[in-house]
Amino acid sequence: MSKFSEFAEARRKNTKMVPVPSVSIMPERDLGSSPALECLHLGIDFGGLKAVDDFNITVGKTEICGLIGPNGAGKTTVFNLLTKVYAPTRGTIMVDGHDTAGMNPARVNQLGVARTFQNIRLFNSMTVEENVAVGLHNQRHCGMATSILRLPHHWKSERYYHERALELLDIFDMTGLASNEAGSLPYGAQRRLEIVRALATNPKLLLLDEPAAGMNPSETAELMENIVKIRDQFHIAIMLIEHDMNLVMNICEGICVLNFGKIIAKGTPEEIQRNDAVIEAYLGKQKKEVEA
């Protein structure tokens, strides 16, 4: 049995998806806790373009959820709304039961939303460890005077953050690269470092924008394993945008499909694969060309 089908098999055995009020589904095991994310009638307009409209979703506390759709569908825009890069034109975003209205990106990150970017955004001239330290920064409680005067608490806290950074890098077997310049890493390793930096902020909801882009098949298989490992180890929700359907169909428990800014389908991987609107959105053009 291939690695992909092993994952899909395990997912099918462990996950029972149940309906919830926002016309969504979530894993039955998460029903007792507040959802990691709830969006109600979320939308944003750019001039006359409704880039995202009436976006409703519930993501369970430990769910791996896929957000898919053709190019330009509005997927990255959803992540920009969730992280407050864009202020919504309408609708509500609840994170772990808290309404995020009026919050800025830093505040929503402290509340528990962390992300990676479609186009990698690392601090290239800083070391790998320093990039992770930037993520850890939002948990620092050491005052300015303590740091300037180099009081004992400063050194204790420095040691803690150094060890924590190495612990996080170890998830991807990257401790040996801690003192390398981030910009000198191969592409796949830079993508992994972005995930580590996001994890360093201690999220409840991790948003991954095309994490497998540019990776070769063995890197993708390893990434898939690591996404599941991160969810299991940190007990967090992960929402991922991905064009690699093997990855999506094998590790996501719930999937939401966007087309022209609107949700056209929500369901389990099995339901999504046989949904006519989804097949049309992805294959419609080719199908019509073949028929003509």
Ligand X SMILES: Nc1ncnc2c1ncn2[C@@H]1O[C@H](COP(=O)(O)OP(=O)(O)OP(=O)(O)O)[C@@H](O)[C@H]1O
Residues of the shown chain interacting with ligand X in the complex, contacts defined by CB under 6 A: 46, 51, 69, 71-77, 118
Least separation, in Å, of the C-beta of 240 and ligand X?
Answer: 12
Per-residue CA distances from 32 to 13, 96, 231 (Å): 20, 12, 18
Mind giving me the DSSP string for 27-96?
Answer: EGGGTTS--SEEEEEEEEEETTEEEEEEEEEEE-TT-EEEEE-STTSSHHHHHHHHTTSS--SEEEEEET
- DSSP run (H or E) holding 263: strand 262-267
* Residue 262: strand pairing partners: 259
Which of the choices ligand X, Mg ion, none does residue 51 contact, using the CB cut-off of 5 to 8 A by kind?
Answer: ligand X
Length of the chain as a residue count:
292
Least separation, in Å, of the C-beta of 55 and ligand X?
Answer: 11
**Among the residues of the chain, which ranges form H helices?**
3-14, 75-82, 105-111, 128-136, 144-148, 152-170, 187-200, 217-234, 245-251, 269-273, 276-291
Least separation, in Å, of the C-beta of 87 and ligand X?
Answer: 12
- Judge residue 232's burial from the number of C-beta atoms within 10 Å of its C-beta, 0-12 exposed, 13-18 middle, 19 or more buried: exposed
Assess contact for 236 and 204: CB atoms under 8 A.
Answer: yes
Which of the choices ligand X, Mg ion, none does residue 69 contact, using the CB cut-off of 5 to 8 A by kind?
Answer: ligand X
Per-residue binding letters, 73-112, with Mg ion (x by CB under 5 A): --xx------------------------------------
Return the range that interacts with Mg ion (CB under 5 A); candidates 118-126, 149-157, 165-173, 248-256: 118-126
Cβ nearer to Mg ion, comparing 199 with 258: 258
Assess contact for 62 and 235: CB atoms under 8 A.
Answer: yes
Neighbours of 289 (CB within 10 A): 8
Residues 19-78 that bind Mg ion (CB under 5 A): 75-76
Which of the choices ligand X, Mg ion, none does residue 83 contact, using the CB cut-off of 5 to 8 A by kind?
Answer: none
Least separation, in Å, of the C-beta of 113 and Mg ion?
Answer: 17
Which of the choices Mg ion, ligand X, none does residue 135 contact, using the CB cut-off of 5 to 8 A by kind?
Answer: none
Least separation, in Å, of the C-beta of 101 and ligand X?
Answer: 21
Neighbours of 188 (CB within 10 A): 18
Cβ nearer to Mg ion, comparing 117 with 234: 117
Cβ nearer to ligand X, comparing 8 with 51: 51
Least separation, in Å, of the C-beta of 117 and ligand X?
Answer: 11
Cβ nearer to ligand X, comparing 29 with 262: 262
Instruction: List residues binding Mg ion (CB under 5 A).
Output: 75-76, 118
